[in-house]
Amino acid sequence: MPRPDLLQRLANHTAERTRTRLLRRLHTIDLADGPWLESGSQRLLSFCSNDYLGLAQHPQLVAALTRAAREEGVGSTSAHLICGHRREHAELEEALAVWTGRECALLFSTGYMANLGVLQTLLAGGDVCVQDKLNHACLLDGAKLSGAGLKRYPHADVDAAARQLAANPDAAAMLATDGVFSMDGDVAPLRELAQLCARERATLMVDDAHGLGVLGAHGAGSLDAANLGQHEVPLLMATLGKALGCSGAFVAGPAALIEGLIQFARPYIYTTAMPPALAAAALEAVQLAQAETWRRDKLAALIARFRRGAAELGLPLAPSPSAIQPLLLGGAETALAAAHALERQGVLVTAIRPPTVPAGQARLRITLSAAHEEAHVDRLLGALETLHLPASLRAPGDDHV
């Protein structure tokens, strides 16, 4: 039997995606202007960006990046442990640790790399990693690559998580969860999970990529909102490319954790450090996110306005308190048709289809930002009202079909 050709096998998988209308396509953006995007001849009002606080084009971030690039150049030119760790990185790490109430913080180039680094460093064969079934792919991949046993519990089911831990009483254990779930927008039951981990002597890790900057009295994320500190949650990961409008990620926690990651986390050791100019911009974003509390207030008001309007239209929204507002449409074809219909009206919302979400749970993933205005939200609601959704998706008694 001839040896299989790897490229042909990949092409076959891609062809199957095409056949089932699940093929992903790039959407090239020519110009970004706040919530407005230009693509070819179209000017689109975007509701699919993670720029939750509207900081990505803030002039102070642009000025900080430009100033640092002029002084330091563009690239860091090296890994952190050689000569790539600059003053800007150290200042940003210190600011992130203070903001999140942690002893230390460590920068990574991406959130994916940060989660791989943490899980591969702490876990080993014979250990157990218990995770929510809706966790981000990088948490799942990190556990698999570590060699530990991966146990997944039904979404937000603390009792099921407890059974998973109890079934492995002698193994070193980590429980890992998203803080805000990226496709559903809901918040994990963090206090209950922290109590469970304390009883079971398991280490709790929270990926707060979508909570940092948005939730909590100080904007420090879902753990801030739940009033959970380093003792209850020793492992915190969050990103700089969402509410902070930049790029990169960090892990925050005890000094012993950070020192261990510096020594053993392969995605940290063996990659070039983020550009120092980008770290300077991110530091500016951290300061703005704390000082300009009106951004969180405005975002919360826009979320409430959108949810009220969607309820009046009988739209099948998931119960999300965050900037992520999923419109649950079921079939992939229905979601894709809805996204295309909105785009024809000048509104850009991404259709999320399997395998990103389970079969039968395709959706429009609507995201709101402090860069939006009330009129933008009303325009979105008006466009959604025109969608010809199946009657089964509407709320009982609604006559908008």
Q: Which residues are known binding-site members for pyridoxal 5'-phosphate? A: 111-112, 182, 210, 239
Q: Which amino acid is at 253?
A: G
Residue with tokens 């405005």: 298
DSSP, collapsed to helix, strand or coil, labels residue 20 as coil
Query: What distance, in Å, lies between the first and last C-alpha atoms of the chain?
Result: 56
* Phi, psi at 375, each rounded to 5°: -65, -30
Q: Which residues are annotated as a binding site?
A: 24, 111-112, 136, 182, 210, 239, 356
Beta bridge partners of 365: 326, 350
Q: Compute the distance between CA of residue 129 and CA of residue 168 in angstroms, rounded to an integer.
A: 10
Which residue out of 49, 76, 182, 320 is catalytically annotated?
Answer: 182
Respond yes or no: is residue 372 known to be catalytic.
no
Active site residue 242: yes
Our measurement of the distance from residue 400's CA atom to the centroid of its chain's CA atoms, rounded to an integer in Å, reads: 33
Backbone phi and psi for residue 327, each to the nearest 5 degrees, phi listed first: -100, 105
Please check whether residue 149 is in contact with residue 282, taking contact to mean a CB–CB distance below 8 angstroms: no
**Nearest alpha carbon to residue 186 among 86, 303, 14, 31:** 303
Q: Which residue among the candidates 58, 85, 89, 242 is catalytic per the annotation? A: 242
Asked if the peptide bond before residue 35 counts as cis, ω within 30 degrees of 0, the response is: no
Q: Look up residue 318 and give its amino acid.
A: A
Query: Measured at the alpha carbon of residue 267, what is the angle toward residues 263 and 271, in degrees to the nearest 5?
Result: 100
Residue 182 annotated as catalytic: yes
151, 210, 372, 376: the catalytic one is 210
At 28, which helix (H) or strand (E)? none
Q: Binding site for substrate: what residues are annotated?
A: 24, 136, 356
Cα–Cα distances (Å) from 266 to 84, 114, 116, 212, in that order, read 16, 10, 9, 25
Other CB atoms closer than 10 Å to residue 222's CB: what's the count? 27
Active-site residue set: 182, 210, 242
